[in-house]
Amino acid sequence: MFPALETDLKQETLPDPYEDFMHHHLQYYGYFKDSLMLSSPLLRSRQLLYDDLDEVNPRLREPRELFSIFSSRGPLQAPRWPIECEVIKENISHIEWVPPQPEYFYQPTGDEKVPEIVGEEQGTAVYQLDSVPTEGAYFTSSRIGGKRGIIKELAVTLQGPEDNTLLFESRFESGNLQKAVRVGIYEYELTLRTDLYTDKHTQWFYFRVQNTRKDVTYRFTIVNLLKPKSLYAVGMKPLMYSQLDAITYNIGWRREGQEIKYYKNTTDDGQQPLYCLTWTVQFPHDQDTCFFAHFYPYTYTDLQCYLLSIANNPIQSQFCKLRALCRSLAGNTVYLLTITNPSRTPQEAAAKKAVVLSARVHPGESNGSWIMKGFLDFILSNSPDAQLLRDIFVFKVIPMLNPDGVIVGNYRCSLAGRDLNRHYKTVLKDSFPCIWYAKNMIKRLLEEREVLLYCDFHGHSRKNNIFLYGCNSNSRKHWLHERVFPLMLSKNAPDKFSFDSCNFKVQKCKEGTGRVVMWRMGIINSYTMESTFGGSTLGSKRDTHFTVEDLKSLGYHVCDTILDFCDPDQTKYTQCLQELKELLQQEIHKKLNNLGQDMDLEGSWSDIPLSDIESSTSGSDSSLSDGLPAHLLNLADELNQKAMLKKPKKKRLQTRKQRNEQYQKNYLMRELKLTENNTPGRARFPPTLQKQPTFLKNPENSSSSIMRNEKPRLNETQLSGRDKGTSLDPPLTSLVLPKNKDITQSKKPGFTASCSPKRSTNSSLGPAPDVKPNWPKTRYPATRKDRTPMVAYPSLHIYTYP
């Protein structure tokens, strides 16, 4: 897959070096004609193309892209690893498969065994990684293939065909297993590797076992987990993949495991407390190769293969442009996709608003990649809804923000040894390039157009379902508007998305996260989407694990909800806003009852700060910022000092009124000084002295004729631009879309008010939701040919609150 790893490269050379030299020498003096020059393979320009007959009729090649991403014939870019990491040469890949039956949670019986941790004192180490960089070390360099030299065989050597010792391996892309100790015939204690250059963050695991035995119960116990709470304690099962089943029966990843127990490790080493996960399993075949994982893996190579298919698709490549946002710390490409239909006029292009989506800032949260894949599958399809979204929006998509962490199998950090989702305010471009360039890309985008939505896809290890974290708007004008999108999404995916689990409180420890930084940059609808590692407790999917198809369908629901959110008929928006007010009133009453207070909320309930009502996100799957690594502290201080030493620019006066006031003030001060210096008597000085304080205290009372004429003009402009009958409650977000007489309406129960037609869908073009939304859906026509062409694009307007 990666020919760059091959050492023997075939190159075309002339048979005689002397002839090669003479050829160029004589060409310099003009002894060769054009036909001879073009016929020589060495003299051909790479900028010229020739026809099939190799005739001398060249034409210029198409201009190159800004960045070299993929070649239609070339190989994928091989991942770059830190030079300390050993990497096996095998290519690990898995098939994508959806179980035909729901995979239910494990139901604890209370009789699960709690194995005692014995370690190497009473067991035998059968697998152990050497020289893994931890806390105190830091990243220096990388190379394709990782560590130089011969790859060691870390697994034990089998003594014969009767030896039933399992052979472990994790030195592949996204793999994570530090050590395996055999403490019984079929029992193993496993130690996970911490994130590189740290001493914490053990959650993600992904490893391979070989030399299996059928119909034998094996027990695996992970001994160094750090979180006191886990979904494994409430029924979540690990994932297993059998290579023989995949080849023979086309069966992929599936939930397996019995006697699952999550408990505290009683071994006291004087450090932070550790927790254990134990489970039993039976392998389906003898001599099989199996894999275990915390969640469905999605590697950097998987992403590159997917993007290569888009780049080679002649239709999708017309409206999906692939660029390199930057290079990561190890030199891996961070990809940026720009998705929008070509515009007919510059005015049409400028009128489009933007939607920004990103995933995998935390490398161990692979569920974010599956939601992103579902979104891309739908937005790049020929569905009428997808075409409509591409017509009215510009989508900026960063599918993998932390490729280095994904490649090495980290759970939360980059190769800087820090959580990138706590450093969006960083000034260290070279140490945190991925988020520095992402933030500045969005900053430039905000200068060009309004960003309607920002959403960062994550995973959650302690809560079931899917939910959003947002930010409260401090403006009474837009009160509760940031909660409309999550409520709409819960109605579109009622068996997966839980609005009750959403939270909108901004904590001080989350100021460096993507959603808070983007919100402070001016994006009102700024969210973190948390999808569980487990499954659903809602509706028809209650007590079942999520599959990759469930997560991909949520990507479709995000697209569907964007259209509902911007529907020109604002019935749904208004009803959601009213429902939010009623829910908030109920929450306030509940809080007051718990405090033993009684209060009339008819007139003053909307003035209560939402931060006082809402609980914190302490249950979120997050970590506090560890600050900068020691070797970066001085660099950060130097950059901050340079920023402080910069001379602040003089504030520019923006309005005519301000300029006039400043002019009048300066004029009076000059008159005052002239009066003091030139007038021998004091007859005219007191009146001047009496006017000065009046002007300074009441600048609006200036006698300037310009100011007297300007003030009523400003008032008229403000009054003419404001709708006197507009209240603060109705939504300010709407899209005026092209009208079509052939639009039909389909009604669904749930909403009492009718909705105007919106669009049509084809169930074969996108994943249909398992449970219908409990509001009436309106659809746009299924074909775009019947749509009336727009004569002038200004008929397409997007109104959003600032």
Where in the sequence numbering do the catalytic residues fall?
A: 530
Length of the chain: 802
Between the alpha carbon of residue 166 and those of residues 125, 221, 240, 785, 787, the distances in Å are 11, 14, 15, 61, 63
3-state secondary structure 482-514: HHHHHHHHHHHCCCCECCCCCECCCCHHHCCCH
φ and ψ at 782, to 5 degrees? Answer: -70, -25
3-state DSSP: the chain helix, strand, coil percent, rounded to 5?
A: 30, 15, 50
Quote the tokens at residue 532: 């569980």
Q: Is the dihedral of CA 508, 514, 519, 525 positive or negative?
A: negative
Residues 731 and 480 sit within 8 Å (Cβ to Cβ): no
Using CB atoms within 10 A of its CB, is residue 140 exposed (0-12), middle (13-18) or buried (19+)? exposed
Q: List all residues 6 or more positions away from 154 whose beta carbon is below 8 Å from its beta carbon.
A: 127, 128, 129, 130, 168, 169, 171
Instruction: Map tokens 């979180």 to a residue.
Output: 227
For residue 689, give the 3-state DSSP assignment: helix
Nearest alpha carbon to residue 735 among 387, 384, 342, 353: 353
Nearest alpha carbon to residue 360 among 174, 86, 232: 174
Quote the tokens at residue 437: 């360039």
Q: List all residues 6 or more positions away from 110 whose beta carbon is below 8 Å from its beta carbon.
A: none
Nearest alpha carbon to residue 131 among 166, 178, 91, 98: 178
Residues 497 and 532 sit within 8 Å (Cβ to Cβ): no
In DSSP notation, 382-451 reads --HHHHHHHHHEEEEEES-S-HHHHHHT-SS--TTSS-GGG-TT---TTTSHHHHHHHHHHHHHHHHS-E
Rounded Cα gap, residues 531 and 510, in angstroms:
19
3-state secondary structure 304-367: HHHHHHHHCCCCHHHHEEEEEEEECCCCCEEEEEEECCCCCCHHHHHHCEEEEEEECCCCCCCH
Rounded Cα gap, residues 650 and 315, in angstroms:
51
Helix axes 484-492, 571-594, angle to 10 degrees: 100
Tally the C-alpha atoms within 13 A of residue 373's C-alpha that lie toward its C-beta: 24
